[in-house]
Structure 1
């Protein structure tokens, strides 16, 4: 197979696929047959922000998850462990359970949450040596089965087990905290420009504080990618749905700051060009949302170009 034609660009991915394909990695279009023969099924489909109906613009669209659950239910003839890999709002497992357990065919399903912490651009290194693997579930046997898979290469002390809801919420919270750091340094960058301070020097000064650390403190046009904005909006929606208005407003501000930074960057370009870009050629060096990926989802470059 021509591994140079993988649809996703990720450093080291082609080598991993090349080594595993035909040994313990197989691709099939017989989905029902694959489900029927499996002991454990991972759901790794997209969960974009809803563009319609209740929760439009904030809540996660679970139609792909639901379609997966229905197909698994229809194709299963033996007990299965179902693993949520997709980033999901808290309590999605409830919906999965409801669909899977009401099939009437006597099959038992155990649902686990195993959120994905691989970062684009460093996903293979993150896979080989993760900071932690998080597994949430209520059935000890099912949790142990997934722990044993990871334990073949991940030290046991890095495999954290929690209840289902803690695991689901931890993924959203981790991304919200990282995005918050980006928005925080970007807010300071605007202050630096007005006062004559250098934001890189400020970032270095605070980054050497061991309580803060240096990562995610690089002032920029703002964060992009398929996760940060989507996950924070999801967090905001969940908080609002429970009536936690202050919590929702707090996290919403991270997005507001990010949008402001992108717009400010675009405005600065126009201002530098004497307030007109008519008839002028502007080159964008980089269209993906960050280096070492071909993913352009929510890329700040797109917003700047549109502005």
Structure 2
């Protein structure tokens, strides 16, 4: 480390952001001690499990890093107060769900965990502490954090003299994550950019020094606090917009006889557009896209920018419409009724190579089908039975939901298979054996457009493929 003042890092929150991010920092900065703390005892126990297959998060490459760093300079614990008191830098990586009630319900972020973290930092931190916003937050959240920190102890200002004299003070830095689940470790090791926003150059440089252990300085972008906070929301909004855009075109392709893959390739070769995020599917999921767009909508409405708010809200509406459209197509092709019919659902995570099910398209599509009387038989290679069943606790009769250990077992006696996650293993299944054990006519609904449609037809399947 260039700066000898920094020895201990604490991260509050051991979830999908905190766990992988701190693991990569520990891996690349062996001279630093990194403590990841969380009040969830079950989650911390999972991070400390001797059986690495039981880590709470599945990400390619994460297990190898945990094996090398855990217990050396990377530690997971429930010792929140102690870790805060020892830390020079504290990352806030807690959940910021959409509010379910009160002002801004359905749009604004619920910042109760951010506020709780800030109050703990204010109470237990010692000397000068750099507080880093890692969670995705509304613009101006730093003002809230700063107000809480400064209300407990008078902040004497940010300068080297205060730090050397061990005076208690704080500075706020925004360092949003830009991870794609399924490729999070690679995204952290080889980021497109690292964004650091702050009000004093000294604190910005401290965070920059950490990343410069493995990231080229040219890829580190520095801004003011508000630009950094807004950039994260806008980045996710633009990515989600592309998904909704290509999904809207998939419906036009089906109506006109065009092929969505051919259209996506044709427009993606335009360097002004590019090919990324032009893969059609059942809609975006995960913890960020929907939440961040709705947050942006709320922000626009707060400032009276109603036309801008309406524009971005439509991105979310199209996403929901796509999932409802897929559900309707399944029902229509199965003779207009799902009563007494069994459907196999392949894939429950919101995308391949992750076990995250938050806002997964599989949830909404499945609920629609269950409400039509279907019995659903699920298979996902990384999502547990407990996790799947928890998504339907308040919606359906549990007797209509089965979770299986194999794709073959899930398809037994099924009228149709609906592929909702693009797990690569689905391309290598023995589809001939699957066809034999299904009720005829046997359907495959490929919502990810990645199976060999002609091969399945040759076996005897009736096949619907999105946008073709």
TM-score (norm 1): 0.98
Picking from 62, 77, 82, the partner of 2:111 is 62
CA distance in 2, matches of 1:149, 1:224: 31
CA distance in 2, matches of 1:59, 1:229: 11
In structure 2, distance between residues paired with 1:177 and 1:30: 38
Determine helix, strand or coil for the equivalent of 2:130. Answer: strand
* Separation of aligned partners in 2, 1:206 and 1:105: 56
Q: Distance in 2 between matches of 1:29 and 1:289?
A: 29
Verify the 8 A CA contact 2:154 2:169 in the aligned structure 1.
no
The counterpart of 1:278, out of the listed 311, 333, 339, is: 339
How far is 1:105 from its partner? Answer: 5.9
User: Which one has the largest radius of gyration?
Assistant: 2
Deviates most, 23-32 or 128-137: 23-32
Instruction: Name the structure 2 match of 1:14.
Output: 63
Partner of residue 86 from structure 1, selected from 135, 142, 154: 135
2:220 is the alignment partner of 1:159: yes
1:139 counterpart (178, 200, 209) = 200
Q: 1:96 aligns with which of 145, 148, 168?
A: 145
The corresponding residue for 1:213 is 274
Q: Does 1:225 align with 2:282?
A: no
8 Å contact kept, 2:153–2:169: no
Deviation at 1:76, TM superposition (A): 1.6
The Cα RMSD (Å) is 0.9
Partners of 2:332 and 2:81 in 1: CA distance? 58
Pairwise CA distance, 1:77: 2.4
Are 2:258 and 1:258 aligned? no
In structure 1, the partner of 2:76 is 27
Deviation per CA, 1:141-187: give whole Å up to 9, x if none: 10000000000000000000000000000111011000000111111
Range 160-169 or range 96-105, more displaced:
96-105
Q: In 1, distance between residues paired with 2:72 and 2:217?
A: 26
Name the stretch that deviates more: 274-283 or 97-106.
97-106
1:161-200 aligned within 5 A? 161-200=222-261
Q: Distance in 2 between matches of 1:76 and 1:226?
A: 30
Q: Shift in Å at residue 3 of structure 1? A: 2.0
Equivalent residue, structure 2, for 1:121: 182
Secondary structure in 2 aligned to 1:282?
Answer: strand
Q: List gaps (5 residues or longer) in structure 2.
A: 1-49, 156-167, 369-468
Task: Describe the SS at the equivalent of 2:344.
Answer: coil
When structure 1 is superposed on structure 2, of 111-120 and 27-36 the one drifting more is 27-36
Partner of 1:26, secondary structure, is strand
Partner of 2:319, secondary structure, is helix
Aligned length: 307
Distance in 2 between residues matched to 1:104 and 1:36, nearest whole Å:
15
Supply the distance in 1 between the matched residues of 2:68 and 2:350 (Cα, whole angstroms). 29
Q: 3-state DSSP class of the match of 1:102?
A: helix
Greater share of strand: 2
**What secondary structure is seen at the aligned counterpart in 2 of 1:213?**
coil
Which residue pairs with 1:249 in the alignment? 310
More RCO (CA 8 Å, sep 6+): 1
Q: Quick one: distance in 2 between partners of 1:2 and 1:167?
A: 38
Q: Hey, what's the Cα distance between the residues in 2 that align with 1:119 and 1:101?
A: 35
5+ residue gaps in structure 1?
none
Q: Determine helix, strand or coil for the equivalent of 1:215.
A: coil
- State the alpha-carbon separation in 2 of the partners of residues 297 and 27 from structure 1: 23
Partners in 2 of 1:2 and 1:140 — Cα distance?
43
Q: Bigger shift: 21-30 or 244-253?
A: 21-30
Q: Provide TM-score, normalisation by structure 2.
A: 0.65
Q: Partner of 1:53: helix, strand, or coil? A: coil
Task: Note the C-alpha offset of 1:104.
Answer: 2.8
- Name the CA distance, whole Å, in 1 between partners of 2:312 and 2:147: 30
Instruction: Write the distance in 1 (CA, Å) between the matches of 2:53 and 2:346.
Output: 23
